[in-house]
Amino acid sequence: MQNETNGRVVLRATNLTKDLYLGHVVVHAVRGVDLAIYENEMVGIVGPSGSGKSTLLGLIGGLDTPTEGRIEIDGVDITHMSEGRLAEVRNEKIGFVFQFFNLVPTLTALENVALPIQFARYPKFDPEQRARELLELLGLADRLNHRPMELSGGQQQRVAIARALANNPPLLLADEPTGNLDSEASEVVLQALNDVWRETGTTVVLVTHDLDLARKMGRVLRLVDGRILGEVEPV
């Protein structure tokens, strides 16, 4: 278990709220979430389907804007940022891993991982060299020139993790990263996440409906109906 009293806050959410409108119906997807996540933590957020996990992660990652409340990433308030500046912050500070991998189908593994570095305003790495190193770290040294279709689900997700880490972001967000994988591939992907967490020191926030998976994280928060209801003991 991480010590919450030490370390820098990488992510702070204050009274984070998101209302969604379905015709005349308002869905209170996220209801006043307060969160502080510290440098180098590995946090699981667990909740049933529809509890607001993806909405919450989208807000935290700057993919969506809150109805109310505030989000700070690595000391930067992103709540009212322009789309252009927000895109830069996402590129530099946040890595995203999705359930369905979201790789570019026409690009090789190496090219997919290099892409965020090529988009960076101030690139910190040589794109190809960095992509190669990350893919090697993730056990894909022999798959650099394969396209997503030529890779298994577990391999695709490892490419997606490498891509998320391309610019060495302080924060890695994962939304049901094993939700589309069989149990064997899930184990491999989870191990990969653990390895990169240990290797890079990035903070990991993973959301899932799977309590067993969440409990493998260092700290586990429970989300119900858009509210954080407290912590669950990790394994």
Site for ligand ADP in 11-50 (CB under 6 A): 20, 22, 27, 29, 47, 49-50
| DSSP 8-state symbol, 234 | -
* 222 binds ligand ADP per the rule CB under 6 A: no
**Torsion on CA atoms 118, 121, 126, 132, rounded to nearest 10:** -50
| DSSP 8-state symbol, 160 | H
What is the per-residue binding string for ligand ADP in 133-172, x denoting contact by CB under 6 A? ----------------------------------------
Residue 199 CB neighbour total at 10 angstroms: 12
Q: Which position among 2, 40, 51, 54 is part of the footprint of Mg ion (CB under 5 A)?
A: 54
Q: Look at residue 27 and give the partner it binds from ligand ADP, Mg ion, none, a contact being a CB closer than 5 to 8 Å depending on partner kind.
A: ligand ADP
Distances (CA, A) of 91 to 78, 85, 120, 169, 197: 13, 10, 6, 8, 18
What is the per-residue binding string for ligand ADP in 62-101, x denoting contact by CB under 6 A? ----------------------------------------
- Which of the ranges 3-11, 53-61, 122-130, 160-168 carries the binding residues for Mg ion, by CB under 5 A? 53-61
Looking at the Cβ atoms of 188 and 206, the one nearer to ligand ADP is 206
User: Which residue's entry shows tokens 């204050």?
Assistant: 14
Rounded CA-CA distance 149/128 in Å is 21
Residue nearest to Mg ion (CB): 54
The alpha-carbon radius of gyration of the chain (Å, integer) is: 17
The pair of structure tokens assigned to 123 is 């690139």
Looking at the Cβ atoms of 20 and 86, the one nearer to ligand ADP is 20
The pair of structure tokens assigned to 94 is 């946040």
Cα dihedral across residues 60, 63, 69, 74: positive or negative = positive
As measured in angstroms, the least distance from the Cβ of 49 to ligand ADP is 4
As measured in angstroms, the least distance from the Cβ of 56 to Mg ion is 9
The binding site for Mg ion (CB under 5 A) comprises 53-54
The binding site for ligand ADP (CB under 6 A) comprises 20, 22, 27, 29, 47, 49-55
